[in-house]
Structure 1
Amino acid sequence: MNKTKPKYKQIIDAAVVVISDNGYHQAQVSKIAKQAGVADGTIYLYFKNKEDILISMFREKMAVFSESVQPLIEKETKAANKLLKLIQNHFSILAQDPNLAIVTQLELRQSNKEIRLLINEVLKEYLKLVDTILKDGMETGEFAQDLDVRLARQMIFGTIDETVTTWVMNEQKYDLEELAPKVHQLLLKACQS
């Protein structure tokens, strides 16, 4: 299986659309193949089954979150600004891809426990970025010295995540990206001493 082949990405992108439109349980491999413009059998050259498509899709898309925010964070010296960049980037990616927002916020949560555990593994890399920002802020004195990093990370990711879920549930009727500064201010106050 070569992940650099264009058909791999085509199938992943098609899966996002099909799962968003039909829900994970109704998203048949044949529908994904049709959306991707490939034969049903081609999918099995790249993926074992529908669950494998879902996990691979999440892995690929989470990599985009991490890879796109990394250079933005590295440009900033203050932890507060790094946190803002992370929030803005997260909201921006999902605002520009409403199908992906539906899949990450709604469909992934309806999957079985085994899939959720695999998703949590993928998420760990992204959460490490949050930890790094928090630790930087503690070192520079921007954030409280006695900050519980684990709890603060859960609070930050949980707030970002719930903000996106609410936006999806409200049929994306308002500008998600406009909320980034407000969410940032709330989270910043919670992290400062």
Structure 2
Amino acid sequence: MKNNKPKYNSIIDAAVQVIAENGYHASQVSKIAKKAGVADGTIYLYFKNKEDILISLFQQKMGQFTEKIEHEIASKQNAKDKLLSMISMHFKQLAADHQLAIVTQLELRQSNKDLRLKINDVLKGYLAIIDDIVEEGQQDGTFRSDLDLRLVRQMIFGTLDETVTNWVMKEQKYDLMKQSKEVHELLVFGLSGNTHP
């Protein structure tokens, strides 16, 4: 498989840096190649074009992101704790890599419809984790059973996504991790209807 080749990861990591620093549209393949320490032509052994680099970058990073969250929530006993763990891990991973946060929050928001569809496709695994947590909470009575799962999924993901985007736009001037508990309380309140999350 092409992504097992050693240069693949260096190109992906270089792409994160170059796109974060220059923006997607101003990030020529040659800049990515230079940052990765490979010849321009080498890029095309692994990727069809710049769009393919962006999608592959997102697939790889989102795959790792989702795996870490799944691993972290596996040890939690109930939906409420799993939700807090998911929120904390979401914020922690992006706070730890501000260049990746710039790429995911700003540069992946492209107007190209095909690109948007591919990005949404990559998100499916992550959104499935949200669904599982909500369904577990509904089954054990933690969350209301009359909730529309699709709407709840959008609300949870949208809240986390917007919180990180705001942090990126404010140039990471505050501690993103400190937002975890409050975001969790707001979401649990909305999902349970109880005043004490």
> Shorter-chain TM-score: which interval?
over 0.9
For residues 174 and 42 of structure 2, the distance between their equivalents in structure 1, rounded to whole angstroms, comes to 39
**1:141 pairs with 2:144:** no
TM-superposition CA deviations, 1:139-181 (whole Å, max 9, x none)? 1111001111111110000000000000000011001111111
Q: CA deviation at 1:130?
A: 0.2
Match of 2:155 in 1: 155
Counterpart residue number, 1:108: 108
Q: How many Å separate the matches in 2 of 1:38 and 1:180?
A: 40
Length, aligned pairs only: 193
Partner of 1:131: 131
Q: Which runs of 5+ in 2 are unaligned?
A: none
CA-to-aligned-CA distance 1:42-64 (integer Å, 9 cap, x gap) = 10000000000000001001101
Is 1:164 paired with 2:158? no
Report the residue type matching 2:153 in the other structure: R
Cα RMSD after superposing both structures: 0.9
The Cα of 1:72 is off from its aligned counterpart by 1.2
Residue 13 of structure 1 is matched in structure 2 by: 13
Superposition deviation, residue 110 in structure 1:
2.7
Once the two structures are aligned, what percentage of the paired residues are identical?
Answer: 62
1:111 CA drift (Å): 4.5
Q: TM-score, normalised by structure 2?
A: 0.96
CA distance in 1, matches of 2:2, 2:52: 15
2:183 pairs with 1:183? yes
**Which string of whole-angstrom CA distances, capped at 9 and with x for unpartnered residues, describes residues 32-82 of structure 1?**
001111111110000000000000001001101110011111101110110
Give the match for residue 40 of structure 2.
Answer: 40
Q: Secondary structure at the match of 1:76?
A: coil
Runs of 4+ deviating beyond 2 Å? none
- Equivalent position of 1:70 in the other structure: 70
Aligned position for 1:97: 97
- Post-superposition CA distance 1:80-119 (Å, at most 9, x none): 1100111111101110100010011111113411101100
Which residue is equivalent to 2:61?
61
Q: Which runs of 5+ in 1 are unaligned?
A: none
Task: Give the partner amino acid of 2:129.
Answer: L
Separation in 2 of the partners of 1:98 and 1:181? 21
Q: Which residue of 2 aligns with 1:87?
A: 87
Instruction: Give the Å deviation of 1:125.
Output: 1.0
67-76 or 160-169, which deviates more? 67-76
Rounded Cα–Cα distance in structure 2 between residues aligned with 1:184 and 1:65: 19
Secondary structure of the 1:110 match is coil
Counterpart Cα distance in 2 of 1:107 and 1:2: 25
How many Å separate the matches in 1 of 2:92 and 2:134? 22
